[in-house]
């Protein structure tokens, strides 16, 4: 069966599970959980979005779908002035000595950016950030992930379905999880190769590396 639209995805999941009675669960649970999961894990170019923000107050709301800052700067008089991230605690420490002026730092509190110094004028800031993929729905019937990497949706949904249903062969559950993780890793690897081509990797000594889509860790060393 084709996997190019939201409707086709839901039908395919039902077929793989051999369950025609899970219409609501497939749409509202399994697919949604998969979207939440891959949005939290992936950081690829297709997720980068740019928006402009008007800075004329201490706080500004985060843009819709915000996940993570890539770069953030003020453009004034043809020059870029980078905004540097500091923790909320660090911002509290500097507030007493730096109150109003051109912002140089920002932090994130809940659903807002907070700036220091507090803008003393109106500034235009440019934010490049990672944004969630638009979720599938009856209105938004496809997106980049479903069009180009449908295995992420299919195997992710099957894995979440197996946790809901219970009684599924553990080997089958493990296989779906592995296929889902492999699809995520392949997408991220393809994205990196598109960015950097065949440039050689630099060897670093005694670096602990966490797997991107699992909880295992490996230590790489150049000491043999």
Mean pLDDT by 10 residues, the chain (224 residues): 91 96 97 98 97 96 97 92 95 74 94 95 97 98 97 98 93 97 96 75 43 44 40
Amino acid 213: pLDDT: 58
Laid out side by side, the sheet with 79-82 consists of 48-55, 123-131, 66-76, 79-82
- Distance set, CA 126 to CA 61, 69, 96, 107, 120 (Å): 14, 11, 27, 15, 18
Amino acid 195: pLDDT: 78
145 CB-near residues (< 8 Å, 6+ apart):
38, 133, 152, 153
Amino acid 78: pLDDT: 85
Q: How many angstroms separate the first and last alpha carbons of the chain? A: 49
Amino acid 221: pLDDT: 37
Amino acid 197: pLDDT: 67
Contact 48, 56 (CB under 8 A): no
**Given CA atoms 113, 117, 119, 123 in this order, what sign does their dihedral have?**
negative
Amino acid 222: pLDDT: 42
Amino acid 204: pLDDT: 45
Amino acid 205: pLDDT: 39
166 Rama sector, left if φ>0, alpha if ψ -120 to 50, beta otherwise: left
**173-224 per-position pLDDT tens digit:** 999 999 999 999 999 999 998 877 665 555 543 433 344 455 443 333 344 4
Q: Can you tell me the distance from the alpha carbon of 120 to that of 71, in angstroms, rounded to the nearest whole number?
A: 22
């Amino acid at each position: 069966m084709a996997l190019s639209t939201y409707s086709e995805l839901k039908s395919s999941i039902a077929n793989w599970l051999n369950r025609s009675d899970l219409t609501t669960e497939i749409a509202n649970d399994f697919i949604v959980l998969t979207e939440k999961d891959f949005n939290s894990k992936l950081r690829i170019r297709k997720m980068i979005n740019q928006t402009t923000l008007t800075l004329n107050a201490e706080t500004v709301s985060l843009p819709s779908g915000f996940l993570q800052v890539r770069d953030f700067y003020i453009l004034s008089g043809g020059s870029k002035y980078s905004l540097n991230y500091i923790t909320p605690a660090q911002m509290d420490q500097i507030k007493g000595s730096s109150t109003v002026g051109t912002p140089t730092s920002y932090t994130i509190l809940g659903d807002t950016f907070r700036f220091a110094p507090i803008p003393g004028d109106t500034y235009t800031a440019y934010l490049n950030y990672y944004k969630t993929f638009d979720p599938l729905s009856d209105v938004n019937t496809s997106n980049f992930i479903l069009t180009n990497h449908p295995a992420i949706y299919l195997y992710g949904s099957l894995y979440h379905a197996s946790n809901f249903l219970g009684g599924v062969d553990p080997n089958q559950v493990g296989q779906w999880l592995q296929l889902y993780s492999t699809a995520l890793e392949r997408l991220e690897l393809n994205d990196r190769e598109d960015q950097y081509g065949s440039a050689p990797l630099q060897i670093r000594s005694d670096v602990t590396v966490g797997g991107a889509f699992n909880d295992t860790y490996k230590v790489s060393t150049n000491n043999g």
